[in-house]
């Protein structure tokens, strides 16, 4: 989804002052082999949190060599029973492959149709750009997925955090009206997320 590059590479200068659409390139004379390799997805993530999942992002911010190239990857670790919560990527289609475990992968369309399937090692999925999706570990063992995106910075809107853990807070009367519930329900959800 990102625009095509106009040069062989443009290793991001993340401290660059201009950032109209991506990052400026670091001077070619400063480019080294290390700019084309990234270790950040090699370690198992810490799933000891309330969702029981962890997403390591290999996007342009973590791996500046991706700048302007229109691709990136994530590593997703999910404990048994854990969930990578419903979220969407505003700038990219996502494809993923299960490396370990058994996962329910689900997505919802703009017309509120729900599609899902249980996947095991070697099976792939695709999430069209912008659609809300999740992965739930329905197996007994830990699950591991690698995902790929057609953007160097796909972005992630994680719905529970977006609505209930924003800064500043979304007004309570917006949430009670949106979900058709009383205030204590909103208080309980917000307190769960430290809101």
Binding site for Mn ion (CB under 5 A): 94
Give CA separation, 48 vs 45, 81, 90, 99, in Å.
9, 12, 27, 20
Q: Choosing among Mn ion, ligand GLV, none, which partner's interface includes residue 84 (Cβ < 5 to 8 Å by kind)?
A: ligand GLV
- Quick check: 94 binds ligand GLV (CB under 6 A)? yes
First to last CA, the chain: 34
Taking CB under 6 A as the rule, which mask of x and - marks residues 124-143 in contact with ligand GLV? Answer: ---------x-x--------
- Quick check: 147 binds ligand GLV (CB under 6 A)? yes
Which single residue brings its beta carbon nearest to Mn ion?
A: 94
Instruction: Extract the tokens encoding 185.
Output: 């329900």
> What sections of the chain are H helices per DSSP?
159-164, 172-179, 183-192
Which residue number, 26 or 133, has a Cβ lying nearer to Mn ion?
133
Which residue number, 102 or 147, has a Cβ lying nearer to ligand GLV?
147
For residues 74 and 57, the answer to whether their CB atoms sit within 8 Å is: yes
């Amino acid at each position: 989804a990102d625009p095509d590059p106009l040069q062989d590479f443009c290793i991001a200068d993340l401290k660059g002052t201009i950032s109209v659409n991506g990052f400026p390139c670091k001077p070619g004379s400063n480019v080294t082999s290390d700019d084309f390799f990234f270790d950040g997805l090699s370690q198992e993530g810490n799933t000891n949190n309330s969702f029981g999942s962890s997403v390591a992002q290999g996007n342009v911010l973590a791996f500046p060599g991706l700048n302007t190239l229109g691709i990136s990857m994530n590593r997703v670790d999910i404990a048994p029973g854990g969930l990578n919560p419903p979220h969407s990527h505003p700038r990219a289609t996502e494809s993923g492959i299960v490396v370990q475990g058994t996962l329910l992968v689900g997505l919802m369309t703009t017309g509120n149709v729900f599609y899902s399937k249980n996947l095991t090692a070697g099976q792939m999925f695709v999430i069209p750009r912008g659609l809300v999706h999740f992965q739930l570990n329905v197996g007994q063992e830990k699950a591991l997925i690698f995902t790929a995106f057609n953007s160097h910075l796909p972005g992630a809107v994680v719905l529970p955090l977006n609505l209930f853990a924003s800064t500043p807070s979304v007004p309570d009367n917006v949430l009670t009206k949106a979900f058709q519930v009383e205030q204590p329900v909103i208080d309980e959800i917000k307190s769960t997320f430290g809101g």
